[in-house]
Amino acid sequence: MRNGVLIFLAFIFFAGCSTAGRLGIVTKSSADPSSLLKNSQGYEELGPTEGKACRYFLLAIIPWGNSDFEKAVNIALEKTGGDALLNVTAESSLYGFIPIYNVFSFTCTTVKGTAIKFK
């Protein structure tokens, strides 16, 4: 009985959800993807990378941070100096502490993929 009550209280204190999706290629927002495809530009694989961008909310009315997909991609590419990501997995998560009262919550976007550099 005691364990059941503790699990219930933990669930009330912290709750979250997430969604995930897959993409083939993602470039920097400053790149021109149509010209890259038309010119059949070669590339070099730099290896796997990951980027995470978060936005926080206090009392559901005071926000700070940036959880945009673009921000997460730029963070991942900055780590390797790459121009684009291949085989990208994107995940968005939302977490709340004491969700009934919305005391503190945050949402994060995480991207993972293989960084490439165009030649």
pLDDT on residue 4: 66
Q: Domain of residue 107: give its range.
A: 2-118
Residue 65 has pLDDT above 80, yes or no: yes
Distance between CA atoms of 16 and 34, rounded to whole angstroms? 38
Residue 59 has pLDDT above 60, yes or no: yes
pLDDT on residue 95: 80
pLDDT on residue 75: 94
SS3 annotation, the chain: CHHHHHHHHHHHHEEEEEEEEEEEEEECCCCCHHHHHHCCCCEEEEEEEEEEEEEEEECCCEEEECCCHHHHHHHHHHHHCCCEEEEEEEEEEEEEECCCCCCEEEEEEEEEEEEEEEC
Report the number of distinct structural domains present in the chain: 1
Residue 18 contacts by C-beta under 8 Å, 6 or more apart in sequence? 91, 92, 93, 94
Q: Give the global pTM.
A: 0.75
The pLDDT tens digits of the residues spanning 66-92 come to: 889 999 999 999 999 988 899 999 999
The segment with the largest mean pLDDT, out of 4-13, 20-29, 86-95, is 86-95
Of residues 118, 74, 58, 67, the one with CA closest to residue 92: 67
The pLDDT tens digits of the residues spanning 22-47 come to: 777 887 776 666 666 667 778 889 99
Q: Average of pLDDT values for 88-106?
A: 81
